[in-house]
Structure 1
Amino acid sequence: ATQNYSANLDYYTGSSSVLPPYDNPFNHTDIICEKSHTRQFAQTFLPAFFWIVFSIGTVGNALVILVYCKYRYRKSITDRYLLHLAIADLLFVFTLPFWAIAASHGWIFKNVMCKIVNSMYKINFYSCMLFLTCISFDRYITIVQAMKAKNSKRKRLLRSKLVCFGVWLIAIGLCIPEIVYSESKQVSNTTTCKMVYPTTVTRTIKVTVLALKITIGFLLPLFVMVTCYAFIIHTLLQAKRSQKHKSLKIIIIIITAFLLSQLPYNSILLVK
């Protein structure tokens, strides 16, 4: 659910705009597209929207962490990934008050906060998608290879800790462009916080950053989810379980929700 409003934030901050002005095929629309009404609407809508998401997201994810801590000895490997998913979402929702203020008053904070806030957003983006990938793979091992999963539970528990550490490391590594290039910049009469590439950065690097975002943030999780859940569905259909229809419905809902929330946004990035 976090990724639904992440796309909104990505649009507002302009962090997806990687192509130079005269090479961007979409830039000619600025001549005929009047944006003043959009900006006026954004100044009213976005602060309220961000504060609502901040409130609900903080309470919801904090409850997930509290429940996990209370019953941590009974939890599975998937629950561990869900814990880290909740932590990643909390990192993101803590940045929303900054964006709420920036939406109505412009970016009034320092360059350091701009780098921190943008970096936390990207860390959330990459870590969430990678943890969703891990959850899908763990469900595959637990259901399709049940005997193997039962015999190697200790190894899998230890391995899951290393996987979580690796996911955070990858997410932090991939947000280096935000740490280096994010800064507050005057645009018209408003100060914004966005990534500003210096002229020394080649177009190849800019496109590579965007390609990594699409690959790790959408294509890789989609491939793993579809593959793992296809095997799970095949196993469930062969099993004589009364609850298998419920499980199949849940899997279909998971994949559908992922596609509905991610496909439109990533299609635009891919075209760009």
Structure 2
Amino acid sequence: MPAMHPTEPWSPSPWAGSEDYSGSGALEELEELKLCPSWDLPYSYAYIPVLYLVAFAVGLLGNAFVVWLLAGRRGPRRLVDTFVLHLAAADLGFVLTLPLWAVAAALGGRWPFGESLCKLSSFALAGTRCAGALLLAGMSVDRYLAVVKLLDARPLRTPRCALATCCAVWAVALLAGLPALAYRGLQPLPGGQGSQCGEEASDAFQGLSLLLLLLTFMLPLGVTLFCYCRISRRLRRPPHLGRARRNSLRIIFAIESTFVGSWLPFSALRAIFYLARLGALPLPCSLVLALRWGLTIATCLAFVNSCANPVIYLLLDRSFRARARRGACGTIGRLARRVSSASSLSGDDSSLFRSGACSWGSFQPVQSVSGPL
């Protein structure tokens, strides 16, 4: 059959190609009907693997440091610390899969690691993305209760409730990742050039994926926006919050904004992709190519988010920078006396705390004041 004219609508068949996360996009040419021609972004096989490996290195070191900092902290932990700790663990699980997708991108989408690793890495991506969105929504609700409903919410703002919420988030995330185990696997690349790690293009999976996208991203996003709109209204009215608490809110808002900015383009394009696969949204060939390239860029943007939070802490939190310098000192840091940290990650706005900062000869105490997030 001759190729379809570029202006003719595209209605994908259930046996359309599959999606991969290597950066090569989500829409493959229909082999049976030879519909829309498609091309990868120029030189994507070169810069996408480098981007993934940089995100892996930064995300591994940064998130592991955050987990070490909070998990090893003695004494009572604030409620928001629980959310930050689990969020860092989710990002850590995400970045561990990035070297696999970097290799696949360098090979033009070919997956050399077998079907088991394909399923497990896809499961990890789906589960940790869902966990990240839900944990940030939980953090937003906690901030809303702490700022807007301070007195009324005390029975809900307990360490047991925070831990139970995080456990519930992980349970939902594991369930959200199960379709990847069932429907993702090795799919043949066009032209018989090997196999890629992709999904079965069945209508059942497309509909289920669209539903999960709405429930695990759009719904938490709506909750987050509602909470921060109410918080913003509260901040404009007296009595005004102290500087420390405002700074903590600013850090959390930066984390939330970065997550939304990174994942919203991917989620929006994926929703269009699912609708097109289901035949509910016919597309001309020019839009098919734009969707493919857009998903390539959006996937890179979303994956880089896994290393963003430690960078935000480093840029906006003085005490975190001090702790990072202290950790980088190695042996000198271990010889210094244990000090408390008063950052957006730990602390109390009724106290003054000191963090060790590294110098060439010895530790110089750096004083930092911060409040509960």
TM-score, normalized by the shorter chain, greater than 0.5: yes
Question: Residue 264 of structure 1 aligns with which residue?
Answer: 265
Give the C-alpha shift of residue 181 in structure 1: 1.8
Question: Residue 212 of structure 1 aligns with which residue?
Answer: 211
Question: Residue 120 of structure 1 aligns with which residue?
Answer: 124
TM value normalised by structure 2: 0.59
CA deviation map 1:219-254 (0-9, x unaligned)? 112211111112212222223335387577667655
Which segment drifts farther, 243-252 or 211-220?
Answer: 243-252
TM value normalised by structure 1: 0.79
Sequence identity percentage: 26
In 2: Cα distance, 1:147 partner to 1:160 partner: 17
| Amino acid of the structure 1 residue aligned with 2:139 | I
Please show how residues 55-204 of structure 1 align to structure 2 within 5 Å: 55-105=57-107, 106-150=110-154, 153=157, 156-187=158-189, 188=191, 189-197=193-201, 201=202, 203=203
CA deviation map 1:208-228 (0-9, x unaligned)? 223223313431122111111
Structure 1 counterpart of 2:51, from 49, 52, 62? 49
Question: Residue 23 of structure 2 aligns with which residue?
Answer: 12
Contact 1:81 1:164 in 2 (8 A): yes
Structure with greater helix share of residues: 1
CA gap 1:240/1:86 in 2 versus in 1, 3 angstroms: same
| Amino acid of the structure 2 residue aligned with 1:240 | P
The number of residue pairs the alignment matches comes to: 248
In 2: Cα distance, 1:20 partner to 1:133 partner: 38
Q: Is the radius of gyration larger for structure 1 or structure 2?
A: 2
CA gap 1:255/1:100 in 2 versus in 1, 3 angstroms: closer
CA RMSD of aligned residues (A): 3.0
CA deviation map 1:139-180 (0-9, x unaligned)? 111111212344554xx3212222111111111111111101
| Amino acid of the structure 2 residue aligned with 1:117 | S
Question: Residue 5 of structure 1 aligns with which residue?
Answer: none
CA deviation map 1:5-60 (0-9, x unaligned)? xxx9747375x66x9959x9xx95x33x4x15x3x612211221111111000001
Contact 1:92 1:124 in 2 (8 A): yes
Unaligned residue ranges in structure 1 (runs of 5+)? 1-7
| Amino acid of the structure 2 residue aligned with 1:73 | G
Question: Residue 4 of structure 1 aligns with which residue?
Answer: none
